[in-house]
C-alpha cells in the first residue's frame, strides 16, 4: 500500500503518494509543544525579560511609542501578541493616541486596510493608528561601520520608545529572523536594505549562523543606532502556534530564542539525498516566488550535488517583487544572475541570484499556480503536479533513490 503525505499549499493541501519501497525520510521539526496558554507564555516573557527591565518600567507616561510588527508575508501572530504589549504600555501610563503600530514592509508591497485590520485584530485596528512603514519618508540617523545608511521610517525614527515584535526562524543569509531585523530591513529604505544585503554572498552569511555573519552584525549595529528599547519575539510550531516567547534586550533575548529554535528546527541528516521535496509550508510563506525561495535555500543543504529539488509553493501572487521579476526576465542564464549580484547588487535581484546559486548545485522543479513560461523564466522546471514531478524524478534516479521530504522547509535546517 502506498503511503500518502499531505503538504500545505496556499490555503489548502496537495498530496504525494510514495511507492512502497521508497527510501524516503521525512524531515520534520523535532517534537515541540505549543504553550498550553499563549497569553500566559507571553505574560511570562514580559514579566521576566532577558537583559532588560520590564516594558512597563521602561516606558514613561509621556512617551510616544512605535510598535514595529511584521507584514503579511510573515507568519507572526501579531494579533495575539499585541494586547499583552499594549497592556504593559497602559500600565506605564502611555496614552492611546501616543501609540502607533507600524508594519515593517521593508521592500514588500503595501497592505490593504483589510489586511492591516486582519494582522492586528479589528479592535486594535480601530483603537490605534496602524500604518505601513513605506507610507512615510525616511529619516537618516547615521551610517554603520560597514557603510550601510541607517534610514528609518519617520514614525519609528521620531518615537521616544521603540518596540519590535516578530518571530524567530532560520534566514538564509541573516542567520535567523527576529530581533533587530524588524528595523533593518523592516522599516528601512531600499537603499539601506540593498547596502545591508550586499553581504549575502559572504560564506559567513548562512542560515543558522550568527557569529561572524556580516549581515546580522550590520543589522544589529543599525538597531543599536536607532535604539531598540524592547523586543517580543516568538518561536512558532508547525501550526503557527506559539511554543516559546522571549522578551527584553534586542540581542540577548533574541539569542535565547535562537537557541530554542535550534532545539526544535535544526534537523540532522546522515547523507544528502538524490531527491528533496521542499514545501514552503503554505500561506503566507508561499504567497509568491519571492517568499517561497526561502524554502529552496534550506533545501539545498539536504540535496546532493547533481540532485533534484521539487519545490512546492502556490505562488498565487506570481513573482511577488518587481526587481526580482525584472532580473529573472533579463537574465540569459543562472550564471548571469550570479555575476550581476556580485557587480551590481540590487534589492530584489538578490533573491533571483540566490535561486541561481542553488541551481549550480541541483535541478529545481516548481509545483505552483504560476504559468509554465513564468516558471521557466526563473530557470525552474514547471510541474503539472507534485505527483508527476516526483514520479519523473524517481525515473531519473531509480527506485533506490534517496528521498528527503521537508513539509516545512522554510523553517527546517538540515545539518549533516
Q: What is the pLDDT of residues 47-58, one digit of tens each?
A: 999 999 999 999
Q: Which residue has the cell 543543504?
A: 301
Class of residue 332 by CB neighbours under 10 A (exposed 0-12, middle 13-18, buried 19+): exposed
Q: Return the pLDDT at 2.
A: 62
Q: Return the pLDDT at 325.
A: 97
Cα 272 → chain centroid: 24
Q: Return the pLDDT at 3.
A: 87
What's the CA gap between 8 and 281, in Å, rounded? Answer: 5
User: How many CB atoms are located within 10 Å of the residue 31 CB?
Assistant: 7
Beta partners for 17?
Answer: 4
What's the CA gap between 405 and 289, in Å, rounded? Answer: 20
Write down the domain spans for the chain: 3-27+269-415, 38-264
Alpha helices in 252-367 (DSSP H): 252-265, 289-299, 322-330, 334-343, 349-359
Confidence label for 239 from pLDDT (cuts 50, 70 and 90): confident
The residues near 247 (Cβ < 8 Å, ≥ 6 apart) are: 45, 46, 49, 50, 52, 55, 230, 231, 232, 233, 253
> What is the share, in percent, of the chain residues with pLDDT greater than 90?
79
Q: Return the pLDDT at 32.
A: 62
Domain 3-27+269-415 has CATH 3.40.50.1820: no
Closest CA to 183 of 218, 208, 159, 219: 219
Taking the chain, what is the end-to-end CA distance rounded to the nearest angstrom? 31
pLDDT tens, residue by residue, 179-205: 999 999 999 998 999 889 888 878 899
**Strands 99-104 vs 65-70: parallel, antiparallel or unpaired:** parallel
Range among 2-11, 18-27, 309-318 rated most confident: 309-318
Q: Specify the range with the lowest mean pLDDT, choosing from 11-20, 59-68, 106-115, 359-368.
A: 106-115
Q: Return the pLDDT at 1.
A: 44
Q: Which residue has the cell 516594558?
A: 55
Average pLDDT over residues 239-248: 92
Q: Return the pLDDT at 265.
A: 85
CATH architecture of the domain with residue range 38-264: 3-Layer(aba) Sandwich (3.40)
pTM: 0.80
Amino acid at each position: 500500500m502506498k503511503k500518502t503525505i499531505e503538504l500545505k499549499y496556499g490555503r489548502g493541501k496537495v498530496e504525494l503518494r510514495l511507492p512502497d519501497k521508497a527510501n524516503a525520510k521525512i524531515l520534520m521539526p523535532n517534537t515541540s509543544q505549543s504553550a498550553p496558554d499563549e497569553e500566559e507564555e507571553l505574560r511570562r516573557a514580559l514579566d521576566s525579560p532577558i537583559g532588560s527591565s520590564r516594558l512597563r518600567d521602561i516606558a514613561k507616561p509621556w512617551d510616544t511609542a512605535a510598535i514595529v510588527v511584521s507584514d503579511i508575508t510573515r507568519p507572526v501572530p501579531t494579533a495575539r501578541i499585541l494586547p499583552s504589549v499594549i497592556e504593559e504600555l497602559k500600565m506605564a501610563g502611555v496614552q492611546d493616541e501616543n501609540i502607533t503600530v507600524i508594519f515593517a514592509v521593508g521592500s514588500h508591497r503595501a497592505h490593504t486596510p483589510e489586511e492591516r485590520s486582519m494582522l492586528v485584530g479589528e479592535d486594535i485596528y480601530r483603537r490605534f493608528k496602524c500604518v505601513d512603514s513605506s507610507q512615510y519618508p525616511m529619516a537618516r540617523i547615521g551610517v554603520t561601520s560597514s557603510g550601510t545608511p541607517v534610514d528609518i521610517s519617520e514614525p519609528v525614527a521620531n518615537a521616544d520608545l521603540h518596540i519590535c515584535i516578530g518571530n524567530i526562524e532560520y534566514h538564509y543569509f541573516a542567520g535567523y529572523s527576529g530581533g533587530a531585523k524588524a528595523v533593518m530591513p523592516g522599516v528601512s529604505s531600499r537603499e539601506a536594505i540593498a547596502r545591508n544585503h550586499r553581504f549575502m554572498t559572504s560564506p559567513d552569511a548562512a542560515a543558522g549562523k550568527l557569529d561572524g555573519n556580516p549581515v546580522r552584525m550590520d543589522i544589529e549595529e543599525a538597531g543599536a543606532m536607532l535604539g531598540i528599547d524592547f523586543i517580543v519575539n516568538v518561536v512558532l510550531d508547525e501550526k503557527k502556534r506559539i511554543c516559546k516567547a522571549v522578551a527584553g534586550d534586542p540581542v540577548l533575548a533574541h539569542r535565547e530564542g535562537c537557541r530554542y529554535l535550534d532545539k526544535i528546527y535544526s534537523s540532522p541528516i546522515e547523507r544528502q539525498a538524490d531527491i528533496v521535496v521542499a514545501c514552503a509550508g503554505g500561506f503566507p510563506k508561499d504567497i509568491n516566488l519571492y517568499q517561497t525561495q526561502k524554502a529552496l535555500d534550506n533545501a539545498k543543504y539536504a540535496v546532493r550535488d547533481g540532485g533534484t529539488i521539487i519545490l512546492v509553493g502556490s505562488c498565487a501572487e506570481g513573482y511577488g517583487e518587481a526587481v526580482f521579476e525584472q532580473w529573472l526576465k533579463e537574465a540569459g542564464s543562472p550564471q548571469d544572475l550570479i555575476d550581476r549580484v556580485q557587480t551590481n547588487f540590487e534589492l530584489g535581484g538578490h533573491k533571483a541570484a540566490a535561486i541561481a546559486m542553488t541551481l549550480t548545485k541541483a535541478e529545481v522543479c516548481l509545483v505552483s499556480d504560476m504559468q509554465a513560461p513564468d516558471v521557466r523564466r526563473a530557470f525552474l522546471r514547471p510541474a503539472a503536479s507534485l505527483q508527476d514531478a516526483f514520479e519523473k524524478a524517481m525515473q531519473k534516479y531509480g527506485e533506490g533513490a534517496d528521498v528527503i521530504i521537508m513539509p516545512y522547509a522554510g523553517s527546517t535546517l538540515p545539518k549533516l
